[in-house]
């Protein structure tokens, strides 16, 4: 599938994977809607795109945690270009704390942003896709959507929930229209600020980069691989280093061995 001319709504576009995706998608001559909480950062990302692409880039700042506003946000996104072809659910927050040290309101915040926020804009956009009998949901989950490690209990729970919802949604939509697709993208470690912004047990930011994240994939390389998966309408794709991808398969085929290995695995 060629993406040229497609209307793509990208959340979490102000930094990291989302920022890299914005730059690579702009090269594809698409029409882009960029969303994140910070309007000034969205303006910076738009300004860094090629000048010829900028007329086809619109900004729609919002907060995934503000549930009451999300239906209006989805409606506003549709009106910006008249329709939406692809929604890339990339916005979210991460965690770096042991379960015993994590306040329950921190777990709720992670679930509210990473799961319910994503779920909400997905469902609010669904009537639009069904009416057009066409659409593509792309969801950036994580290797943690398929495995669980120390320091990620709430984050892994939210990402596992995304897999359960979107696998079910994909099966349901097959009966409605063969032209509505769901792609789950599972990143391993990518060199972004995700760990710097991750919440610790009391809800404050970690404010430092994990060594594993520091050694992760270049975001530009990740974005190119992810876009290829979107173009091919993959159901699910794993993009990361050999350790993260191997862990997914180890958990699937040798769960007892994985349980022993992950106890002492370096995850930060």
Report the distance separating Cα 232 and Cα 120, nearest Å: 26
Distance between start and end Cα atoms, the chain: 37
Question: Which regions of the chain does DSSP assign to beta strands (E)?
Answer: 7-10, 31-34, 57-59, 86-89, 135-140, 180-187, 236-239
Residues paired with residue 33 on neighbouring β-strands, in sequence order: 9, 58
Radius of gyration of the chain (CA): 18
Map residue 218 onto helix, strand or coil. coil
Cβ atoms 240, 187 nearer than 8 A: yes
Cβ atoms 60, 33 nearer than 8 A: yes
Query: What distances in angstroms separate CA 28 from CA 1, 56, 94, 179, one per listed residue?
Result: 12, 11, 29, 21
Report the distance separating Cα 13 and Cα 22, nearest Å: 7
Give the alpha-carbon dihedral of 232, 218, 121, 72, to 10 degrees.
Answer: -120
Active site residues: 155
Report the distance separating Cα 234 and Cα 236, nearest Å: 6
Closest to 33 in 3D by CA, of 102, 95, 121:
121
DSSP secondary structure string for all residues of 142-155: -GGGT---TT-HHH
In this structure, the chain runs to a length of 268
């Amino acid at each position: 599938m060629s993406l040229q001319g497609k209307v793509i709504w990208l959340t979490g576009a102000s930094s990291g994977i989302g920022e890299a995706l914005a730059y690579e998608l702009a090269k594809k001559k698409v029409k882009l809607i960029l969303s994140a909480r910070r309007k000034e950062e969205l303006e910076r990302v738009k300004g860094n795109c090629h000048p010829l692409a900028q007329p086809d880039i619109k900004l729609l700042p919002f907060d995934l945690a503000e549930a009451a506003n999300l239906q209006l946000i989805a409606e506003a996104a549709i009106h910006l270009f008249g329709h939406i072809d692809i929604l890339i659910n990339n916005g979210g927050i991460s965690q770096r704390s042991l379960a015993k040290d994590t306040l329950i309101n921190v777990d709720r915040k992670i679930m509210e942003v990473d799961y319910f926020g994503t779920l909400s804009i997905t469902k609010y956009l669904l009537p639009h896709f069904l009416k057009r009998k066409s659409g593509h949901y792309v969801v950036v989950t994580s290797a943690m959507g398929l495995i669980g490690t120390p320091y990620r209990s709430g984050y892994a729970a939210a990402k596992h929930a995304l897999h359960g919802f979107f696998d079910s949604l994909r099966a349901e939509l097959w009966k409605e229209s063969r032209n509505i697709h769901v792609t789950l993208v599972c990143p391993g470690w990518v060199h972004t600020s995700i760990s710097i912004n991750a919440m610790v047990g009391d809800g404050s930011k970690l404010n430092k980069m994990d060594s594993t994240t520091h050694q992760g994939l270049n975001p530009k390389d990740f974005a190119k691989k992810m876009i290829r998966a979107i173009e091919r309408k993959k159901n699910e794709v794993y993009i990361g280093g050999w350790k993260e991808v191997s862990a997914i398969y180890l958990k699937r085929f040798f769960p007892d061995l994985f349980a022993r290995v992950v106890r002492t695995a370096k995850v930060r």
